[in-house]
Chains A and B, each alone.
Chain A
Amino acid sequence: MNAPLSRTVSRTLVSALTGTLLLSSAAFAQAPTKLTIWLTGDPTETKVIQTATDLYTKAHPNVTFALQALPWSDAHAKILSAAAAQQGPDIITGGLSWGIELGNLGGMVNLTKAYPVLDKQVKTENLPGILQSVVTTDGQLYAMPYNLTVQLQFYRPDLLKAAGVSGAPKTWDQLTGTIAKIQASGKKGYMVQWGNLDWLGLFPYLYQAGGSYYDKGCTKATVNSPAGVKALTYFAGLYKKFKVPTDASPDLGGGLDNGNYPLGTSYSTFNFDITYPKMKGKWAVSALPAGPSGKYTGFLGGTVIGIMAYSKNKDAAADFLKSLNDAKVSKALIDNAFKAGLYFIPPRSDFAANLSLPADQKAALLKQLKDSAGPPNCPGFEASNPDLSKAVQSVILNNADPKAALDMAAATMNANLKK
Chain B
Amino acid sequence: MRNDKMGLAASTVGGGVKVTLGSAQPSRRVRRSFTIPLLLLLPFMVLFAAFVLYPVINSLYLSFTNYNAISAPKLIGIANYTDLLQDPRFYKALGNTALFVVSVVVINTVLGLTLAVVFGGEGVWDQVMRAVFFLPSVAGGIAILAVWKWILNSEGYGILNAARGLFGLAPITWLGTPSLAIAMLVMVAVWGGMGGTMILFVAGLRAIPSELYEAAAIDGATPSQRFWKITLPLLRPTMLYIIITGTIGAFQVFNEPYLLFGGVSSVGGLLDSALTLVTYLYDRGFGRFQLGYASAVAWVLFIIVFALTLINLRLGEPEDRTSE
Contact = CB atoms under 8 A, between A and B. Distances in A.
B7 interface: no
B263 A198 contact: yes
Q: Which 4 pairs, one residue from A and one from B, show the smallest C-beta to C-beta distance? A: A246-B176, A77-B286, A84-B69, A105-B70
B96 interface: no
Interface string B216-237: 0000000000000000000000
Interface of B: 68-71, 89, 153-157, 173, 175-178, 261-266, 268-272, 282, 286-289
A161 B93 CA distance: 48
Nearest to A78: B286
Contact of A390 (B176, B262, B271, B286): B271
Contact of B155 (A80, A250, A385): A250
Contacts of B282: 77
A306 to B, nearest CB: 14
Contacts of A44: none
A398 B266 contact: no
Interface in A81-96: 81, 83-84, 95
Given A76-B287, A247-B154, 13 more contacts: A77-B287, A83-B70, A84-B69, A246-B173, A247-B153, A247-B173, A247-B176, A248-B176, A385-B265, A386-B265, A386-B268, A393-B178, A394-B271
Nearest to A83: B70
Nearest to B174: A247
Contact of A248 (B69, B175, B178): B175
Nearest to B171: A245
B115 to A, nearest CB: 33
A389 B70 CA distance: 28
Contacts of B288: 382-383
A389 B178 contact: no
Contacts of B69: 80-81, 83-84, 105
A316 interface: no
Contacts of A389: 265-266
Interface in A246-281: 246-251, 254-255, 258, 260
Contacts of B176: 197, 245-248
Nearest to B280: A386
A385 B288 CA distance: 11
A76 B282 CA distance: 11
Given A247-B154, A247-B175, A390-B271, A385 B266 contact: yes
Nearest to A95: B264
A106 B71 CA distance: 7
Contact of B177 (A105, A106, A246): A246
Given A245-B173, A254-B157, A258-B156, A80 B286 contact: yes
A43 to B, nearest CB: 17
B276 to A, nearest CB: 14
B234 to A, nearest CB: 46
B143 to A, nearest CB: 15
Contacts of A200: 265
A197 B270 contact: yes
Contacts of B155: 245, 247, 250-251, 254-255
A245 B154 contact: yes
A3 to B, nearest CB: 54
Contacts of A95: 264
A386 B270 CA distance: 10
A299 interface: no
A174 B289 CA distance: 43
Contact of A397 (B68, B153, B175, B271): B271
A102 interface: yes
A397 B178 CA distance: 8
B68 A105 contact: yes
Contacts of A45: none
A102 B286 CA distance: 12
Contacts of A84: 69-70
Contacts of A251: 155, 157
A383 B68 CA distance: 14
Contact of B289 (A73, A101, A249, A260): A101
Nearest to B283: A386
B296 to A, nearest CB: 16
A107 interface: yes
Contacts of B268: 386
B140 to A, nearest CB: 19
A76 B176 CA distance: 25
A351 to B, nearest CB: 26
Interface in A370-418: 382-383, 385-386, 389-390, 393-394, 397-398
Contacts of A398: 271
B173 A76 contact: no
Contacts of B265: 198-200, 382, 385-386, 389
Given A76-B287, A258-B156, A248 B261 contact: yes
A72 interface: yes
A81 B157 CA distance: 38
A393 B153 contact: no
A127 B289 CA distance: 29
Nearest to B264: A72
A72 B262 CA distance: 12
A258 B263 CA distance: 26
Contact of A198 (B173, B175, B266, B272): B266
A77 B154 CA distance: 30
A81 B287 CA distance: 11
Given A247-B176, A251-B155, A389-B266, A76 B70 contact: no
Interface in A185-212: 197-200
Nearest to A309: B70
B150 to A, nearest CB: 11
A393 B265 CA distance: 14
A251 to B, nearest CB: 6
19 contacts: A73-B262, A73-B264, A76-B287, A81-B69, A107-B70, A197-B176, A197-B270, A198-B263, A198-B265, A245-B154, A246-B173, A249-B263, A254-B156, A255-B155, A260-B156, A386-B89, A386-B268, A389-B265, A390-B272
A385 to B, nearest CB: 5
Interface in A219-259: 245-251, 254-255, 258
